[in-house]
Amino acid sequence: MKVFCPDCGARTELAPQKWRCRCGGAWEPEEQHEFDPALIDASDTSVWRYRRMYDLDFDAPVARLGAGGTPLLPVVLGGRQVLVKVEYLAPTSSFKDRGTEVMINLLAHQGVTHVADDSSGNAGASVAAYAARAGMRAEIYVPAHASPAKQAQIAVYGAEVRPIPGPRQNAKRAALEAAERGVVLASHAYHPAFLLGQQSVAWEVWEQLGRRAPDWYVVPVGQGVHLLGVWLGFRRLRSAGWIERLPRLAAVQARLLAPLCQALEQGLDTVPAVEPTTPSLAEGLAIADPVRGRRLLQAVRETNGLCIAVEEEAIRTAQRELARHGFYVEPTSATAVAALPTVMELADPGETIVVPLTGSGLKGTPALPG
């Protein structure tokens, strides 16, 4: 797999131990083929439907669990119809499975047998499941306060759960130490193949809308891999001439920890680390310094998007409102719905708003102090 570093321009062939660029930047997939609908495998409804657009040097994935192919459904929220992309209907009940399914299959193809990741829970569960499917050993570093249901889910797949006390960054540090000992990082934040799998959500939405892009895409941002996957996916559609303009990306963060919103407000080109104070219910967004911060800023600005910081009470209300429509999501996922009033003020009446529902409510809530 050919990759490049958007920070310094370096290009290389990806090797398992070269999980990030020498400059510290995160690799991105190098585009080779133009997006071509004739290359879609219509017989496959999973992420592998688009495998010819991934430019991987294998055609038959060995560790499949069926990520992708989620419904896009109309729901009236806040007095207006939006389309929800039900991403929690996934093998491990979160959107992360799209990226993990592609990443773990690439690592398996490269002969990797032992992986690590740090996660507030969903990426960890996803990596644990796919590692089990691929016959790999997995170590997952989680914040000790991560929701008990998520920690139990990681363990049941046979992965080694390593709860790390203190803020979320401590878990990241522990995973980086494991990488220094030679364990391969299967990192949803860093691995470029993870972004490949995440692009498939843009292509699915495009197909489900009758080959057009929505006007808005409203998405919770922690590391921001969903937002970046959507951005890169729609960019490929635009550069191949299948859409004229990109959807406006509305990034959503919890007011308690909103480094991307702050960097945008201050007009910065990087996302400086923010000191976390009180933990938010949106545990999946507890990232003080996203590794692809520069690209997140670029994605929001290029699409004439914005970043919306939401309050804890609005997150609770949004979770209940969605459940009243039959969609039970975790608090992290409900942040996107909590941000809808702001988006609706900006959106024209006829515009299409897509909101991914990223994680199941059965994942539980974090064990927050107080």
Nearer CB in complex with Zn ion: 18/33: 18
CB of 22 to Zn ion, least distance (A): 6
CB of 17 to Zn ion, least distance (A): 16
Nearer CB in complex with Zn ion: 226/294: 294
Distance between CA atoms of residues 116 and 10, nearest Å = 25
At residue 299, φ and ψ (nearest 5 deg) are -60, -45
CB of 24 to Zn ion, least distance (A): 7
CB of 213 to Zn ion, least distance (A): 30
Nearer CB in complex with Zn ion: 9/166: 9
CB of 115 to Zn ion, least distance (A): 23
Nearer CB in complex with Zn ion: 23/362: 23
Nearer CB in complex with Zn ion: 296/337: 296
Task: Please enumerate in sequence order all residues whose Cβ is within 8 A of that of 345, keeping only pairs 6 or more positions apart, or say none.
Answer: none
- Cβ atoms of 83 and 126 closer than 8 Å: no
Nearer CB in complex with Zn ion: 5/308: 5
- Cβ atoms of 279 and 256 closer than 8 Å: yes
Nearer CB in complex with Zn ion: 228/343: 228
Nearer CB in complex with Zn ion: 17/81: 17
CB of 3 to Zn ion, least distance (A): 10
CB of 18 to Zn ion, least distance (A): 11
CB of 20 to Zn ion, least distance (A): 8
Residue ranges binding Zn ion (CB under 5 A):
5, 7-8, 10, 21, 23, 25
